[in-house]
Chains A and B, each alone.
Chain A
Amino acid sequence: MSIKYEPGQSRVYLDHAATTPLRPQVREFLIAALESGELHGNSSGAHSMAKVAKNKLEEAREIWAHHLGCSPYEVVFTSGGTESNNLAIAGTSGARGPNLVCTAAEHHSVLNTCLRLDGALCAVDKFGLADFQDLSNLVNHSTRLVSVILVNNETGAVNKIDQLADLLEGHAPNCLLHTDGVQAVGHLDLASTLRPVDLATFSPHKFGGPQGVGVVMARKKTQLHSIMAGGAQEFELRPGTQNVALISAGALALELVLEDQAREQARLCNVRAHFLDLVSSKIDGVSLNSSPEGVASIVNVTFSGVSNEELLILLDRQGVHVSTGASCASGAVEPSHVLGAMGISQDAAASSVRFSFGWSTKFEEIDLASEALICALDQLRSQAR
């Protein structure tokens, strides 16, 4: 085989939009919490061990509330981003049929929840941003919920939430606004962005926290209801024993990412610029699907005439880990519905790869990734059918 994977060669992880490595402080916190057993108690219990856990849980809730600009009673912990999006949408009374609208470029956890409830889909522009004209045609006085992703997970495009909220105020005064903020943490000023938002959802493993925990910000007026039957945990919105260690680790990750946001943003902008520089100067047949105004952490690129499934194999063999956005249940690469909604042809979508950067990304990794890309593309293009 021309490109071989050599064990021990350096690994380049450019798939932060899928999940991020745990930040060292978060890992240390989790290990210590598990080893000490300090948070082992069931936070719903009455004894002292339970109260330690309960305190830690509420501390995490306050951290989120502070940074989201809401009350602690408006922060609900779940098992992850997908559950959070399900709860925010399916838990909103009356949000179904034409009274529920989301964009065609949402993450599957929003898109499929809306489709299951027979909701309507709003068109998007060439960057995947909500088409205001189409949205204003779809909403009216009966509209109950509009869900628009804050930062697109496949392209990094940032929807203009404040303008959307203005539009809804005029056209759909009885409507709640939900935004899937899973990819937004660390990239936008959360509290100010979320000011006009009623429901927002987050997932700490996208910014150095652990997998298995999610957050719904649900403002009081949303009168959200639980989508599962069970105990009274999480203000009767999400039954089940909370995983306090993970929830606390998630809150710690939030604090860490926000404390360093400005510097890290500048660094990631340089990382992206360096990557785009190398790719555009050294590789032919490249087109950028991401908006230049999107977040710096996600770059979606089409390499013409090349199958992204094949490119992934050759990059992986060189220790470079990237993704194509979405996989089906079998693990096969599926044509991206987001790129499709943006008007990108199926062929071009099948030649597109998402590179996503994060806290652990180093400049050297970008150099290694671009070298690996050049090798892989040379091999694939020289043998094009």
Chain B
Amino acid sequence: MSGGVDSSVAVALLRDAGHQVEGATMKLWGGESDSGCCSISDVEDARRVAAQLGVPHHVFNFTQDFESQVVSHYVSSHRDGLVPNPCIECNRSIKFDVFLDRAIRVGFDAIATGHYAKVEQDGPQFRLRRAHDMTKDQSYVLSVLNQRALSRVLLPLGDLAKTEVREMARSLGLRTSEKPDSQDVCFITSKGGRKEFMEARVQLTKGVLIDAQTRTPIGETDSLELLTVGQRKGISSGVSSVKTPTRRFVTEIDLHNKIATVGSYEDLLTDQVKLGPPTWTGEPIEQGQLVLMQFSAHGLAVPARWIGDHVVLDHEIRKPAPGQTAAIYQDDYVAGSATIIK
């Protein structure tokens, strides 16, 4: 229970379905936070909702695991010029791993979350499927789940629309019914942003900005780690001093040589994406098969051919940022995921 409306309603639905339900909120981040899943008011909201629904509530302290698995991964990825998705990393290594382990140890059969997605059983296999409400579908952030996790996860909101969920929360009189969705990374504050967070942990690297076509220097940046492939705004004051007829984007970041390449929209386009080793939700996909690739939480799925260490896309797209997760779909089922390398 994050303290939001979705997990609140998930609890109510499971309780009404006759399950013996207990609520749990994870304390993940001990530092400053202005949103996300670990502020005290969110825990209070979760506790209050659990009490209103008549289920016991627990707070689990996973701050150490979160620091070692999620935050340090976030920092080290940025140092390598990658832009990770910490929420996916948290799903992989905390929520559907150590949290699930704990739930099993203390005697539960399954864990449930308020994600909008579906788990379907197909013989001995569990399959992860997009939500009924495509505008809210969160199967992308769950694409890192394996069979073990899927066999132990209930997603009660998979067939509901967000409006229905809010309506249920309202009719139950839950204080979370009108609470806005959380959007941001829980350990990055809106005031300090990524810059302040990273500065406190690593020495940021100064770098040279190179033109993608001419390969000549066109400016400098104080912090290569804070650039993202595809970024247009605030790359460097250096760029604006160079006369460029078109909009400029970061097209590549090379921390090793302390270079970021900046180019036009066309320079940003690609029809191939290189991927790290995939994690499959079930059976691996064979090379050469057609898949749908989704490169961000709410991005469009692009038809592609699965080659193994890369995918060949049906048409050109803006380069996704290395470090982000690529979710691999077949129809509306999640086959797996891999980290974007290039």
Binding site for B on A (CB under 8 A): 1-3, 307, 309-310, 313-314, 317, 328-334, 346, 379-380, 383-385
Q: B residues 1-58 with Cβ under 8 Å of A?
A: 20, 25, 27, 38, 40, 43, 47, 58
Query: Given A309-B60, A309-B61, A310-B102, does the pair A332, B107 have CB atoms closer than 8 Å?
Result: no
The distance in angstroms between the C-alpha atoms of A247 and B152, with both chains bound, is: 53
The distance in angstroms between the C-alpha atoms of A2 and B61, with both chains bound, is: 23
- In the bound complex, residues from chain A placing their C-beta under 8 Å from that of B60 are 309, 332
> What distance in Å separates the Cβ of B38 from its nearest Cβ neighbour in chain A?
7
14 chain-A/chain-B pairs, Cβ below 8 angstroms: A1-B107, A1-B108, A309-B60, A309-B61, A309-B102, A313-B106, A317-B107, A328-B27, A330-B25, A330-B43, A331-B43, A332-B43, A332-B60, A385-B101
Query: Given A307-B102, A309-B60, does the pair A330, B107 have CB atoms closer than 8 Å?
Result: no
B43 and A383 within 8 A (CB): no
- In the bound complex, residues from chain A placing their C-beta under 8 Å from that of B64 are 346
The distance in angstroms between the C-alpha atoms of A36 and B109, with both chains bound, is: 54
- The DSSP consensus for interface residues of chain B is mixed
Binding site for A on B (CB under 8 A): 20, 25, 27, 38, 40, 43, 47, 58-61, 63-64, 101-102, 104-109
B59 and A332 within 8 A (CB): yes
- In the bound complex, residues from chain A placing their C-beta under 8 Å from that of B43 are 330-332
The distance in angstroms between the C-alpha atoms of A309 and B27, with both chains bound, is: 12
Query: Given A313-B58, A328-B27, A334-B61, does the pair A2, B40 have CB atoms closer than 8 Å?
Result: no
- The DSSP consensus for interface residues of chain A is loop
- In the bound complex, residues from chain A placing their C-beta under 8 Å from that of B109 are 1
B106 and A330 within 8 A (CB): no
> What distance in Å separates the Cβ of B158 from its nearest Cβ neighbour in chain A?
24
- In the bound complex, residues from chain A placing their C-beta under 8 Å from that of B58 are 309, 313
Closest partner residue, chain B, to A306 (CB atom): B105
B40 and A330 within 8 A (CB): yes
The distance in angstroms between the C-alpha atoms of A310 and B58, with both chains bound, is: 10
Partner of A330, one of B20, B59, B101, B108: B59
A1 and B59 within 8 A (CB): no
Closest partner residue, chain B, to A313 (CB atom): B106
Closest partner residue, chain B, to A314 (CB atom): B106
A383 and B40 within 8 A (CB): no
Closest partner residue, chain B, to A307 (CB atom): B102
A383 and B105 within 8 A (CB): yes
- In the bound complex, residues from chain B placing their C-beta under 8 Å from that of A310 are 102, 105-106
- In the bound complex, residues from chain A placing their C-beta under 8 Å from that of B105 are 310, 379-380, 383-384
Query: Given A331-B47, A332-B59, does the pair A314, B107 have CB atoms closer than 8 Å?
Result: yes
- In the bound complex, residues from chain A placing their C-beta under 8 Å from that of B27 are 328, 330, 332
The distance in angstroms between the C-alpha atoms of A329 and B61, with both chains bound, is: 12
The distance in angstroms between the C-alpha atoms of A334 and B105, with both chains bound, is: 20
Closest partner residue, chain B, to A383 (CB atom): B105
Closest partner residue, chain B, to A376 (CB atom): B106
- In the bound complex, residues from chain B placing their C-beta under 8 Å from that of A328 are 27, 61
Given pairs A317-B107, A383-B104, 19 additional interface contacts (CB within 8 A): A1-B106, A1-B109, A3-B107, A307-B102, A309-B58, A309-B61, A310-B102, A313-B58, A314-B106, A314-B107, A330-B38, A330-B59, A332-B60, A332-B63, A333-B61, A379-B106, A379-B107, A383-B105, A385-B101
A2 and B47 within 8 A (CB): no
The distance in angstroms between the C-alpha atoms of A334 and B60, with both chains bound, is: 10
- In the bound complex, residues from chain A placing their C-beta under 8 Å from that of B38 are 330
8 closest A-B pairs by beta carbon, nearest first, are A1-B107, A332-B27, A332-B61, A330-B43, A332-B59, A331-B59, A2-B107, A383-B105
- In the bound complex, residues from chain B placing their C-beta under 8 Å from that of A314 are 106-107
- In the bound complex, residues from chain B placing their C-beta under 8 Å from that of A346 are 64
> What distance in Å separates the Cβ of A177 from its nearest Cβ neighbour in chain B?
34
The distance in angstroms between the C-alpha atoms of A380 and B104, with both chains bound, is: 9
The distance in angstroms between the C-alpha atoms of A318 and B25, with both chains bound, is: 21
- In the bound complex, residues from chain A placing their C-beta under 8 Å from that of B20 are 1
Determine which residue in B27, B59, B104, B107 has the highest number of CB atoms from chain A within 10 A of its CB, and name it.
B107
> What distance in Å separates the Cβ of B291 from its nearest Cβ neighbour in chain A?
34
Closest partner residue, chain A, to B102 (CB atom): A310
- In the bound complex, residues from chain A placing their C-beta under 8 Å from that of B59 are 330-333
The distance in angstroms between the C-alpha atoms of A251 and B60, with both chains bound, is: 38
The distance in angstroms between the C-alpha atoms of A385 and B98, with both chains bound, is: 9
The distance in angstroms between the C-alpha atoms of A380 and B60, with both chains bound, is: 16
> What distance in Å separates the Cβ of B102 from its nearest Cβ neighbour in chain A?
6
Closest partner residue, chain B, to A385 (CB atom): B101
Closest partner residue, chain A, to B47 (CB atom): A331
Determine which residue in A307, A314, A329, A330 has the highest number of CB atoms from chain B within 10 A of its CB, and name it.
A330
- In the bound complex, residues from chain B placing their C-beta under 8 Å from that of A331 are 43, 47, 59
Determine which residue in B25, B47, B60, B108 has the highest number of CB atoms from chain A within 10 A of its CB, and name it.
B60
> What distance in Å separates the Cβ of B112 from its nearest Cβ neighbour in chain A?
15
